[in-house]
Amino acid sequence: MKMKLTQAVYYVVFWLITLSTICFSENFNDYISNEDWIKENLNPRMSRWQSGNIEELLTWTDNVLENYPNLLKLHILKGHILFYRLTDLENAIYHYSRVKNDADLLKNFDEYISFEKEIDNLQYQANRALNQIEYGYGDLRFKIRGKQIPKFCYIRNMKVFIAWDEQVINAAEDHQRLRFNTLVETLTSGRMKFMFADFDSVDGRIYFKIPYFPMVESGIPEPYSMIINNEKRYHFNFDQQTNSVIEIDWNDDWELVEAVPDNYVKIEYNRLLSVQPDINKSTLNYDMVLSVPEENPDIKNIYIPIDTGGELDVVVNYKSQQQKVEKAMFIINRGIIIASTILILLVVR
């Protein structure tokens, strides 16, 4: 089963790749440079990215990217450090995608024939890494059983530990083992919140996920185990054939704390109002609009997915004292109202 990137990641990768295509430089040397300074400094780092000092490599790469933002070797180097050393797969995908797409565009240049072997090799490295990510990782999803999660939130006092069988460890790739250990350390340290920030449109339930969880073919049943608060253990499979949702039993001692995801806008409003996105003025996927009732019957709220770089048009219908239906238009950018035709009491988060 192929890994499905999150909606937010698709937005980011799509727009960054689109922008890179629009801004594609007509100067071939911006992508394949023969400057002595580059060769003397970049090539040695390309040969030791697996063992060199990570902080030094990242600092140097970021500084050089400011002056050479299109250089393919720099993007490969940054991608390798992020993926194979730091397991930051989301950002690594961006750099590998730049190399993959820019290499195709370079084939239209007359100079390409002189650098064909080098460009093809860089594109091969990018494609290989992207395939490893696509087929080697997936979103590990969790849902709560025994209680409806009414809104986007996290469980404040929930402790999670995940372990895997020794046979899985032996079958895993090095980067998968590193990613797993990083996730376990992040979970046990409390830096990762058990955040319910994704909505399943099939069953209407909100779920929590661990992105880019290693998918390893081990040949043994339920090789993974998850321990909740050192009390309850759940065994599960997670590979290309089995990528199921883990059902966790609700504990009455847990506390839900509301938190709105970065890729959503929450609008809270009085029940006398009718609030709807203006689908005629946006290309966003409004199938993911989520309406959630509040404990206060006079209050309603909706969560609307939003491109973090774009604007959201919202139409508000309301009844005046004369029971006349009026209409107002709001433009929301990153959760902040930046323009409106009329002042209505809304809470936007």
pLDDT tens figures, 264-274: 777 777 766 66
pLDDT tens digits along 64-96: 999 999 999 999 999 999 999 999 999 999 999
232 phi, psi to nearest 5 deg? -120, 135
Q: Categorize the per-residue pLDDT at 191 as very low, low, confident or very high, splitting at 50, 70 and 90.
A: confident
Give which of 95, 70, 68 is closest to 80, Cα–Cα: 95
pLDDT digits (tens, 9 = 90+) for 18-57: 445 444 556 888 898 877 888 788 888 888 888 888 999 9
CB-based contact 152:264 (threshold 8 Å): yes
Q: State yes or no: pLDDT of 7 exceeds 50.
A: no
Return the H-helix or E-strand segment holding 305: strand 299-305
- Edge-to-edge order in the sheet of strand 256-258: 246-249, 137-145, 205-214, 195-200, 153-155, 256-258
Tokens of 207: 């779920």
Q: What share of the chain is helix, strand, coil (3-state, %, to 5)?
A: 40, 30, 35
Q: For residue 346, is pLDDT > 60? A: no
According to the model, what pLDDT value does residue 152 have? 78
Condensed to tens digits (0 to 9), the pLDDT of residues 132-176 reads 999 999 999 999 998 888 777 888 888 888 998 888 888 899 999
